[in-house]
Structure 1
Amino acid sequence: MALNKTFLLNSFVLFLCLIGIYSVPAFAAVKKYQFDIQVKNVSRLCHAKPIVTVNGRFPGPTIYVREGDRVLVNVTNNAQYNMSIHWHGLKQFRNGWADGPAYITQCPIKTGHSYTYDFNVTGQRGTLWWHAHIFWLRATVYGAIVIMPKEGIPFPFPQPHREEVLILGEWWNNDVEKVVKQGNLLGLPPNASDAHTINGKPGPLFPCSEKHTFAMEVEHGKTYLLRIINAALNDELFFAIAGHNMTVVEIDAVYTKPFTTQAILIAPGQTTNVLVQATQSPNRYFMAARPFMDAPVAVDNKTATAILQYKGIPTTLLPILPQLPSPNDTEFALSYNGKLKSLNTPQFPANVPLKVDRHLFYTIGLGINPCPTCLNGTQLTASLNNISFVMPQVGLLQAHYFNIPGVFRLDFPDNPPTPFNYTGAPLTANLGTTRGTRLSRIAYNSTVQLVLQDTNLLTVESHPFHLHGYNFFVVGTGTGNFDPKKDPAKFNLVDPPERNTVGVPTGGWTAIRFRADNPGVWFMHCHLELHTGWGLKTAFVVENGKGPDQSILPPPKDLPPC
């Protein structure tokens, strides 16, 4: 009796699977989430106040997915503000419609309306996060994204006994939007935050906060993975745990060569995963975060605390405080960042572009412009290559996709129009700063090197820059002026850290490289909300490629209108 042909074919495929020649792709799960934007009274210091939340929670819910999953997040806006959500660090291949920055890839979700963010998690695993991407609303609208590896693929480091998400943030006693509007009316920076927080709680060093302290219980001898996120609006932060070292194993959802440190430095927008061994004398230990500020500006020294508590220890014991670096410890900051390197193994390679097609050099400037409507007659401004970015009233991605004229120009300069001694004597002139919505066009699949140079226009200051739609390699960094003849010889082109957000050091420069293989309109901005609001931002228009899967996907039917 003849064997069935289907049976023979299935048997042959099974044989090939067993010997490793043929593989059947695993079925990707579809993860669905509902985000309800709503106002809720929340108490963190001495009184309760209404804040904008997701599902009534602060911080908002954690999204748990696996590499390869499809994610659907339906966002319904019941707050009084327009809203958009950014999935920080997700690459959104060809799918800028799900990226989230208001008036860049979408118009905001208006009060009483909904929008479903629909995206795939492709080639990424680790810790990312989500946050509001309009005005200063991300002060309270944020949460974690945890991407687990595909089934059967272990971490490239010891399996932890348990893991915990720690989100570092800021808290204002007053409505943050009103605080910002008051500052703009005066032409001055808004009031600084009243507290820093860990998982939304400031800890017992603040008044009226006895009930607002996050605590994590550990068992002696066990190893724990901490997924640390800096959701603060305006502060780079040091973080440490009293009596315990941390082993850094991942940054911005990219595995790193492990190294041990007593403290970490984490800029707004960045994530860091560390392993902590609970091998100290059973006790209660403070976890603490406070700002790193080495610029000549007012020092914000508010320290948030949480508690790492060994199992069985009475909660009445006073925790031990860690030794954090001093607020202006530039030496520690540079040394710490210098230790970050990609894992660069056959399974997790560092595909650093070695040949560069496009060289970009952007100067970062702060300044003061006339402002007839401001009480002081002037207002602070910020610029890249002397251009202070003006937000459009139509989403840039829509304008690009549908060829809507007059929304933006494609003439952002590759270099500053007026070269000068960037980090020399302080300058107060704006060097001809102009305002406009000017973008840079990038050819599909070309390789880009971008040097971000801090300047002493008004003052030097550190700037954490985030690029949407891409990861990039941090190939070099330094203090002073970038030297195009000498500094590239010192670039790390073997195992540089791969990130989505990088700090430009105070009075220094950072060089990044990436391959422009994701078509669309992609925002790049300082992740200090203060500077972003002053115009320290731009966007890249990455052209479509020639292949069938190298063009921007069509927009979804429920894309919010302007």
Structure 2
Amino acid sequence: MGSLSTVLLLILAGFSVFGAEAATKQYKFDVQVKNVSRLCHAKSIVTVNGRFPGPTIYAREGDRVVVNVTNYAQYNLTIHWHGVKQLRNGWADGPAYITQCPIQSGQTYNYDFNITGQRGTLWWHAHIFWLRATIYGAIVIMPKPGTPYPFTQPDLEMNLVLGEWWNSDVENVVNQANQLGVPPPSSDAHTINGKPGPLFPCSEKHTFVMEVEFGKTYLLRIINAALNDELFFGIANHNMTVVEIDAVYCKPYSTNALLIAPGQTTNVLVKANQAPGRYFMAVRPFIDVPIPIDNKMATAIFQYKGIPNTVLPLLPQLPLSNDTNFVKIFNDNLRSLNSPQFPANVPPKVDRHLLYTIGLGQNPCSTCLNGTQFTASINNITFVMPQTALLQAHYSKINGVFTTDFPDRPVKSFNYTGAPLTANLGTSLGTRLSKLKFNTSVELVLQDTNLLTVESHPFHLHGFNFFVVGRGVGNFDPAKDPAKFNLVDPPERNTVGVPTGGWAAIRFRADNPGVWFMHCHLEVHTTWGLKMAFVVEDGKGPQQSVVSPPKDLLPC
């Protein structure tokens, strides 16, 4: 699985060595509980190597990465390498009970994978329960030696990982909400590199500061690791040029703010060309539905060298929390670079057309204090997590774990985004997967619905990148909307935001055999069942089948 020419032990973030050839990068992740203080409050959280956020994985395109994970926490655990394609190697993908059984307390598992044809910013996080609230970190993939960025070379790079903070143990918070049959409460703060900034009480020392020099250009690698919030980001008085999304280069786009959904990454260039001073970098949620607004703003400081800390920072003018017009303009301006070196290989023809409706609803619950519980479904199917990992069942041909009859479109058609139906249209439970022949070109339309309420949904597909060829508000019209698809330079992503009360159309080629999860990256919706999986069959060629499982594959 890649060259073994160089073996490097890289445990702490910020330390990396790149040779002229592909190398094996080895990391050791010790998952443990650590006492952390934020917002006048200290609590024990699950961390990696005692750090929050966790260490950064550094690699080059073509490298092999081996991460030794030992679980010292009380929870079962898996780690997902978000956006890494894991070609033929779902064993390293990480979602619990999809591609592997969890790493139980006291156990160790090695994630062993290649970085093939990818460069840019991705990230890693826990993929079980709500543990990714504190278990996450960046993945930085540098281009091959001698290959420059296709944009202005920055003087310095910086990772900005956006997250959420709960004052109480997040697993207890979720369990209590489930018992009541209500959504879990929103987080107590947002964070930038684990710190909420000085606008929160008792948080003056919990502020991330980035020192810059006048005239220099900086590449910010921004990751939204928040559990449930799409976020606006901006820097006071400074424009940003978007040059990469989800580890794919894009046409440069200048903006004073950006929107980034949970699971997405965005690289921007920033020129330190303003009057030397202290400027706030800030995030706050984008919410365009009639629910109580979580408007908590987290801040960090963009500070020019030589400026004393006594200077009061300026706040950026972020879009209003419900500014759908800004969101549309921002998304419309994201285009693939589509250069000879980095082409946009959009499937020109479609073998399989899929329409998946996204529904939120309520079901009766005799054990819930409210008598009902929230549910979520795709094509009116609420996904049931199996007790045996799906990839293991598929590879070893174990019967009875799942079926492959997930419907290509909803059984019942209706006015998807019309008046709320406050019903589930016969929602069923099941571990039902969709089977795709190897190399099938797929067009998938994700359609939001108003069963209970409309809401935006960032959907993440494991194992693949895809092209976002179209999006719109209202019901998708198969007779008219495809004529407006962008098949030339659509954005290439691994996570797409489905608009509130609207739809998004993606295309991808199913050329990666295995079992691949697809789910909403709002953790509350995933918990309620807004998820499914694809089974991509082996091809006929020698490099078109799932690789053998590792020797240390854990049993359930």
TM-score category by the smaller chain? over 0.9
Distance 1:117 1:109 in 2: 11
- Find out whether 1:298 has 2:292 as its counterpart: yes
Aligned partner of 1:110 in structure 2 is: 104
Q: Are 1:41 and 2:52 matched, yes or no?
A: no
Selected match of 1:426 from 420, 426, 431: 420
Aligned-partner Cα distance in 2 for 1:135–1:441: 26
Match status 1:236 vs 2:230: yes
Aligned partner letter, 2:215: G
CA distance in 2 between partners of 1:561 and 1:46 (Å): 42
Is residue 276 from structure 1 mapped to residue 266 from structure 2 by the alignment?
no
- CA deviation vs aligned residue, 1:413-468 (integer Å, no higher than 9, x gap): 00000100001111101100001100000010010000000001100000000000
3-state SS, counterpart of residue 171 of structure 2: helix
Q: Superposed, which structure 2 residues align to 1:13-32 within 5 Å? A: 27-32=21-26
Structure 2 CA distance for aligned equivalents of residues 412 and 527 of structure 1: 20
Q: Which residue of 1 aligns with 2:403?
A: 409
Aligned length: 538
Q: What is the CA distance between 1:26 and its match in structure 2?
A: 6.4
Counterpart in the other structure of 2:544: 550
Task: Point out the more displaced range, 25-34 or 338-347.
Answer: 25-34
Identify the residue that residue 266 of structure 1 maps to in structure 2: 260
Aligned counterparts of 1:560 and 1:41: Cα–Cα separation in 2: 29
- Aligned pair partner of 1:524 in 514, 518, 524: 518
Which runs of structure 2 are paired with 1:312-323 in the superposition (5 Å)?
312-323=306-317
User: TM-score, normalization: structure 2?
Assistant: 0.96
Shift of 1:373: 1.0
Letter in structure 2 aligned against 1:217: E
Task: Give the structure 2 partner of residue 210 of structure 1.
Answer: 204
Which SS does the other structure have where 1:183 is aligned?
Answer: helix
Report the secondary structure of 1:74's partner residue: strand
Gaps of at least 5 residues in structure 1 are 1-24
SS of the residue 1:373 aligns to:
coil
Q: Distance in 1 between matches of 2:176 and 2:121?
A: 35
The aligned residue for residue 384 of structure 2 is 390
CA distance in 2, matches of 1:456, 1:36: 43
CA radius of gyration, larger in:
1
1:276-328 CA distances to partner (integer Å, 9 max, x unpaired)? Answer: 00000000000000000001222100000000000000111110000000000
Within 2, Cα distance between the matches of 1:426 and 1:372? 24
For 2:280 and 2:22, how far apart are their aligned partners in 1?
40
Q: 1:383-415 CA deviation, whole Å, 9 max, x = no partner?
A: 000000000010000000001111001100000
Following the alignment from structure 2 to structure 1, what is the Cα–Cα distance between the partners of residues 508 and 411? 24
Q: Is the CA contact 1:296–1:460 (under 8 Å) kept in the aligned structure 2?
A: no
1:478-517 alignment runs, 5 A limit? 478-517=472-511
Moved more, 421-430 or 341-350: 421-430
Q: Which residue number in structure 2 is paired with residue 476 of structure 1?
A: 470
Q: Give the TM-score normalised by the residue count of structure 1.
A: 0.95
CA distance in 1, matches of 2:71, 2:111: 13
- 1:148 matched to 2:142? The reply is yes
Shift of 1:47: 1.7
Partner AA of 1:391 in structure 2: M
2:433 counterpart of 1:439: yes
Report the secondary structure of 1:337's partner residue. helix
Q: Secondary structure of the residue that 1:102 maps to in structure 2?
A: coil
CA RMSD of aligned residues (A): 0.7
Counterpart CA distance in 2 for 1:44 and 1:160 is: 33
Q: 1:122 aligns with which of 101, 116, 127?
A: 116
* Structure 1: distance between partners of 2:358 and 2:538: 29
Mapped partners of 2:316, 2:117: distance in 1: 37
Query: Which of these residues, 171, 178, 199, is aligned with residue 172 of structure 2?
Result: 178
Distance 1:210 1:426 in 2: 44
Secondary structure of the structure 2 residue equivalent to 1:259: strand
- What are the superposed Cα offsets for residues 67-118 of structure 1, whole Å, 9 maximum, x if unpaired? 0000000000000000000000000000000000000000000000000000
Instruction: Determine helix, strand or coil for the equivalent of 1:503.
Output: strand
Letter of the aligned partner of 2:28 in structure 1? Q
One-letter code of the match for 1:71? V
Letter of the 1:516 counterpart: A
Q: Does residue 346 in structure 1 map to residue 340 in structure 2?
A: yes
CA–CA separation in structure 1 for the residues paired with 2:465 and 2:232: 23
Show the counterpart of 1:451.
Answer: 445
Write out the 4+ residue segments of structure 1 that deviate beyond 4 Å after TM superposition.
none
Q: Which residue of 2 aligns with 1:100?
A: 94
1:311 to 299, 305, 311: 305
Which amino acid is 2:507 matched to?
A: R
1:222-270 CA-partner distances (Å, limit 9, x unpaired): 0000000000000000000000000000000000000100000000000
Structure 2 residues without counterparts, runs of 5 or longer: 1-18
Aligned counterparts of 2:429 and 2:290: Cα–Cα separation in 1: 27
Alpha-carbon deviations, 1:105-153, whole Å to 9, x = none?
0000000000000000000000000000000000000000000000000
- CA distance, structure 1, for counterparts of residue 158 and residue 21 of structure 2: 28
Q: Distance in 2 between matches of 1:138 and 1:64?
A: 20
CA shift at 1:27, angstroms? 3.2
Among 249, 257, 273, which residue is 1:255 paired with?
249
1:550 and 1:265 mapped to 2: Cα distance?
37
- The residue that corresponds to 1:539 in the other structure is 533
Native 8 Å contact 1:53 1:60 kept in 2: yes
- Secondary structure (helix, strand or coil) at the match of 2:301 reads strand
Which residue in the other structure is 2:362 paired with?
368
Equivalent residue letter for 1:371:
C
3-state SS, counterpart of residue 336 of structure 1 = helix
Cα offset, 1:28, TM superposition: 1.4
In structure 2, C-alpha distance between the alignment counterparts of 1:451 and 1:534, rounded to whole Å: 21
